[in-house]
Copies of this chain bind each other. A is one copy, B any other.
Amino acid sequence: MAIDYIAKNEERFLEELKELLRIPSVSTDTEHKKDVHACADWLVAHFKKIGMPTVELHQTPGHPIIYAESLGAPGKPTYLIYGHYDVQPPDPLELWDTPPFEPTVRDGKLFARGATDDKGQMFAHVKALEAHLANGGLPVNVKVVIEGEEEVGSVNLDNWVEANSERLKCDAVFISDSSMYAKGLPAIMYSLRGLAYFEIEITGPSHDLHSGLYGGAVPNPINELGKIIAALQNPDGTVAVPGFYDRVRALEQVERDGFAALPFKESEFMAETGVKGVQGEEGYTTLERTWARPTLDFNGIIGGFTGEGAKTVLPSKARAKFSCRLVPDQEPGEIQEMVAAHIRSIASPNVKVDVHFHHGGRPVITERDHPAVLAAMRALKKSWNTDPVFIRGGGSIPVVATFSDVLKVPSVLIGLGLNDDRLHSPNEKFDLENFYAGIRTLTYLWDELA
């Protein structure tokens, strides 16, 4: 049986993962271009070795995409696995206890750059495929996309997915590139927030003026920008843009009950962020505020004299960047219009206001009763012997929006990492318990989906 095969091969699986982690596939660094390509080649060879019927290396203007498929289950549904083989730079090197590209096991944890993000999690999928291929074959149709540019913004993936959308057709996407809710508590992330990112520039006088000679009679762009910032927020913590909440899907009571039951400590959240107190939309908990409610946060601001000391300038310009996190079913394009219109309606007629839209991304939600979600829940429970929980994510994962927009299919995020895995930091690690339980989960998954 596939599941027994795992226990028998744990040691080899670990050695193979170590081999994969030794390749310094740092996608952000052109000096590592050869290594990134070597890593892709290694994976192509490995997919062939485990018996995937079709394995292809697709060149892009950047790093290659690996595509594999096993379509030997006619009449059965088809699923897509997404992962990435590139990693973050290991700097600062001196903070690593053992070298980042010399994978080392200590205390049941595997330390290496990419251990959890995403080589370890992605490789758990590969090993689950092998467990089936070596034991009678996959009970469903599986397509695999592993890219090498996730850490540089997946710059070539969207075009590639659009160009290959027919071939990538599937019923759902599975991604393991995130975390469980806590150690021993597996989770399905079924929703992510979207984004609408803005930049605003206010021009008062055409050039910097002396605040003594002109102050009092000339519109000051920072004073005016402050008024706009304030006018975008209500005292109750909501966003003060007319229409902003029109499409917001209310949290269902079952979701709120589920979040409330999670082991979440406000004191830990405060210690982690270093804030004196939490604040946000009235009537919602911290988890609800960060996972399931829209926001408007300023990301940067600059204007006038910002050096040491004092300069009595009445500046010509002030600029700020801000972004809204969006939740289902808000539309970035609509939000863009509403925000810009609101700003124009409150700005002084005596200043020039430019509102620029940087980019946006739709929020995504996968119905919790989707067959792929239910199958993943059963597989997690079998593997971990505990009820998995439903969670949402406050950030965006662009590839999920891509699959949603282009392939029109939901993604199911089965995070195998832990919140203390230090991804992007020195001493990144992956718990071996999570690695093996992850392989078992993903092996059960294909049976549950069949």
Query: Contact residues of A with B, CB < 8 Å?
Result: 193, 195, 197, 199, 204-207, 209-220, 222-223, 225-233, 269, 273-281, 286, 289-290, 293-307, 309-316, 318-323, 325, 348-352, 358-359, 393-396
Contacts and interface: CB of A to CB of B under 8 A. Distances in A.
Nearest to A237: B216
The 4 closest A-B pairs by CB, nearest first: A226-B229, A206-B274, A212-B395, A230-B230
Contacts of A314: 297, 299
B226 A226 contact: yes
Contact of A218 (B213, B214, B278, B358): B278
B313 A304 contact: no
Contacts of A313: 299-300
A207 to B, nearest CB: 6
Contacts of A358: 309-310
B306 A310 contact: no
A74 to B, nearest CB: 41
B290 A222 contact: no
A211 B195 CA distance: 10
B301 A318 contact: yes
B214 A273 contact: yes
A219 B276 CA distance: 9
B226 A286 contact: no
A276 B306 CA distance: 25
A241 to B, nearest CB: 14
B219 A229 contact: no
Contact of A275 (B229, B307, B311, B350): B350
A275 B315 contact: no
Contact of A290 (B204, B207, B214, B321): B214
Contact of A217 (B219, B290, B316, B396): B290
Contacts of A233: 223, 226-227
A322 to B, nearest CB: 8
Contacts of A216: 280-281, 289-290, 293-295, 297, 325, 394
Contacts of A296: 223
26 contacts: A193-B212, A209-B273, A212-B395, A212-B396, A213-B394, A213-B395, A215-B295, A215-B394, A218-B275, A222-B300, A222-B301, A225-B229, A227-B229, A276-B350, A276-B351, A298-B303, A298-B304, A298-B315, A299-B304, A299-B311, A299-B314, A300-B304, A301-B303, A302-B302, A310-B321, A311-B321
A212 B275 CA distance: 17
A223 B218 contact: no
Given A209-B273, A325-B216, A300 B297 contact: no
